[in-house]
Chain A
Amino acid sequence: MMDRLESRSDSELLELSLTGEEAAFLVLYERLKPSIFRYAFHVTNSKTAAEEVTQEVFVFLLREGTRYKQARGDVAAFAFGIARNFVRRLQKRERVYQELPSDEVLEKVSDRQNERDGLAAQLIRKQGIERIRTAIASLPDRYRQVIVLCDLCELSYAEAACRLECAVGTVRSRLNRARALLVEKLKQSKKPQTELPAAGPEECLI
């Protein structure tokens, strides 16, 4: 049964899913889930948000699956378009609220304590990841999208162009520009921070 479904295309599986065949839906879900989750995670930097987006994408796919047109692209591209819209909506919604210290920040604090226990290498690695994530998050949206799709989700240029609905050449040039910007940002973050002005004796309370 599952083998028979594995050979089906995504669009066929979607059609079967809409008619109520659960096995077809499970095969389609297994195919699309990793890329959608990874994309949502890398763009939002939040596991909870990635879960929420992935869940919403599949709910939307079921409710509005009849709107899918095979001539306009594959189901993965359709699902990615939905995910992209949900991520944007989520980011707009989250912008309203004041940012609270996330789990990762708290983790970093605990990692600083672990450094004393001889886990310096792990901390450095985590700091490096945090630094690059911050750098990616600070990129303009068009550059962030290509970095996430091509370098983090490991899609080909053609696939990324299909997802972003632009030419392959545009993806290539944006990716070059995005990488150059990232290298610049990483260099800046490596530089030692400017020293604080020395406090006068009147400032010292001890």
Chain B
Amino acid sequence: MTCQELRDDFEGDLRVGANRLSAVELVEHVAACPSCNRFVEGQKELEEHLRAVRDSAPPIPDSLDNTVVTNYRSFVLEQSRLAKSTPLSCRINPRIALGWAAAVAFAVAVAYGAMLLFIPGQHAWVDRQDTVRQPMVAPVQGTADKEAARARIATRKAPKSRGGSAKHANHPVLLAEKDKSPPIRFQSLMYCDQISCPGAMEVIRVQLPSPVMGLTPTSSGRMGAAVSADVLVGPDGIARGIRVVE
């Protein structure tokens, strides 16, 4: 046995090392090596002292047990009292409440989306709302241009059949006939002939307040009622004629 092996042996549990002193190899080495002899003596002495200190620990007093148990009982009492007195709103964890609120909001949004998609009655209602919401005044120049351009695009995309779809028929913007024949019962607003109005004209249905049309309250039924009219708009966006519908 070498000195290092002996010291390594004592590196573990001190009590184990002390017990191994009976090993023949160890005893022989300690007898031969004064340095290791001093080391082993020191360790033995230390172990004895540590044991003495370990044994000198006082017993745990009963008063400590009583105090701890009393503390526990008061803790339990306090908890039960808190649970009774705290209102429900205080006991709810804010994070959990927030999570539930988000989940409910999401569920409502999903339900509303599904209602819009799958209930046909709701579609009809939405369409009717769109149809009723027509401009109350005559479109200005820029708006008329936009409407004309949109109508032209619609004309290109429209099916070749004469009847068209029901959706197109309900649309407030009506397309004028391609032929140059003058529309019926239109009151001229501006001079229009082959030179000044070379392209196809468009008919836009608008709603106007009755005083604008020069109608008396008695003739229109009630004060401030709207009047529907078809406006004949040229390719330059200028209104050429008007026809009161109702």
Contacts and interface: CB of A to CB of B under 8 A. Distances in A.
A78 interface: no
Contacts of A176: 11
A132 B63 CA distance: 29
Interface of B: 11-14, 42-43, 45-46, 49-50, 52-54, 56-58, 60-61, 63-65, 67-69, 71-73, 75-76, 79-80
B11 A172 contact: yes
A151 B42 CA distance: 15
A152 interface: yes
Interface residues of A, number: 39
A147 to B, nearest CB: 8
Q: What is the predominant secondary structure among interface residues of chain A facing chain B? A: helix
Contacts of B58: 41, 47
Contacts of A108: none
Contacts of B11: 172, 176
B177 to A, nearest CB: 82
A46 to B, nearest CB: 10
Q: What is the predominant secondary structure among interface residues of chain B facing chain A? A: helix
A183 B43 contact: yes
Contacts, number: 85
Nearest to B80: A20
A182 B49 CA distance: 10
Contacts of B57: 38, 41-42, 152
A176 B46 CA distance: 12
Contacts of A37: 60, 64
A59 B53 contact: no
Nearest to B77: A20
A20 B53 contact: no
A104 B54 CA distance: 16
Contacts of A151: 14, 50, 54
A171 B60 CA distance: 28
Interface string A165-183: 0000000100010010011
Contact of B68 (A47, A58, A63, A125): A58
Contacts of A186: 42, 45-46, 49
21 contacts: A20-B80, A22-B73, A29-B69, A33-B60, A33-B64, A33-B68, A41-B57, A42-B57, A54-B64, A54-B68, A62-B71, A128-B52, A129-B49, A132-B52, A133-B53, A136-B53, A147-B50, A152-B53, A152-B54, A186-B46, A186-B49
Nearest to A30: B65
Contacts of B12: 172
Interface in A65-79: none
B53 A51 contact: no
Interface in A89-128: 125, 128
